[in-house]
Structures are given as C-alpha cells and as structure tokens.
Amino acid sequence: MRLFLAVVLNEEMKEALMDMQDAMRVYGVRGRETPPDNMHLTLAFIGDFDDPGLVKSAVESVEIRPFEIRLRGIGTFGDLWWAGLDDCPPLMAVSRRLRRALSDAGVPFDRKKFSPHITLMRRAEGRLSGMQEDEMASLFGASMTVDHISLMRSDRGRHGMIYTEL
C-alpha cells in the first residue's frame, strides 16, 4: 500500500483552491489540475508500506490540538504549481512530532524537509500574466481548523490517483 499522512481539506478550502485553478487558467497557465477530491496537505509521505495499523498507532500517539491554516501565495516546483500557507508554527510542530513518532515506530517515510503546500496543477505550462495584485490577493485568505491527521492510501486509477482515508 502507498501511504501518506495528510490534512484533509474542508469544502471552503477546496472552493478557494478551485478558484485559484480557474484564475490560473484565465491568466495563462495550463496543465493537469488536481481534482477537488484529491486536494490535501501532505505531512509525511510513507510510500509502500504494508502495516497501516502501525502507522495509525504512531499517529494516535501524537496529540493534535486544533489550529488554523490559511492559504497564502502560489508557487512552483518545476512544472508543478502549488498553493502555499501562512507561516503556522503549530503545523510545523505537528509535522515534526508525527515524523518523530513514525521514526520511533520504525515506519519508513520520505525525510525531505517539510514544505507545506497543496498541489494545484501538474505538468503545467505557461506563466501567470496580467493578473493584478488585488486579484491575486482576493484568491487567498481561506482558512480552516485542523483538528486531526488522516492516514491516506494512494491507488492509481484509470484517470489518475485515487486517495482514500483509512
């Protein structure tokens, strides 16, 4: 099973992200958009691992006090476009504690530095051109309360990846 830990986004956040995708199209960026059902914030990518119970136990050992995340900014990693978040010390702390719990439990995971982002589009081409700063600012500000972390399974479907909360 391909597993990862994530924050599942609420509908308000997904709507704001879809508005960002719409604006990107209008202003010249084309690519493979992330479907709303697949929008999430990955905290730790585990990859192929056949003991989801062990992962769940590690996650349950980490106390999660509710905190807010808020959208802010758009960026790229090569041809992948993403939405960023405001600085959020509680999010960073939860990520560190989750990764420590995974490590202590012997669960392998990608140890790349955690860089909070939500994927908007893959294999993207073009640049945002002509968008005014006030238009860009209107796309941001959506927020949500995070009160739990989800263990997710990733399966390849006919039309892309399918993410299922375990």
Contacts of 52 (CB under 8 A, 6+ apart): 1, 3, 151, 153, 166
> Measuring CA to CA, how many Å separate 28 from each of 21, 32, 121, 128, 154?
11, 14, 13, 6, 30
Find the domain containing 90 and state its range: 2-165
Give the CATH number, domain containing residue 109.
Answer: 3.90.1140.10
How far apart (Å, rounded) are the C-alpha atoms in residues 89 and 38?
25
pTM: 0.88
Q: How many DSSP H helices and E strands does the chain contain?
A: 4, 9
pLDDT tens per residue across all 166 residues of the chain? 899 999 999 999 999 999 889 888 887 888 999 999 999 999 999 999 999 999 999 999 999 999 999 998 888 888 899 999 999 999 999 999 999 999 999 999 999 999 999 999 999 887 765 555 555 555 667 899 999 999 999 988 887 788 989 9
Q: Domain count of the chain?
A: 1
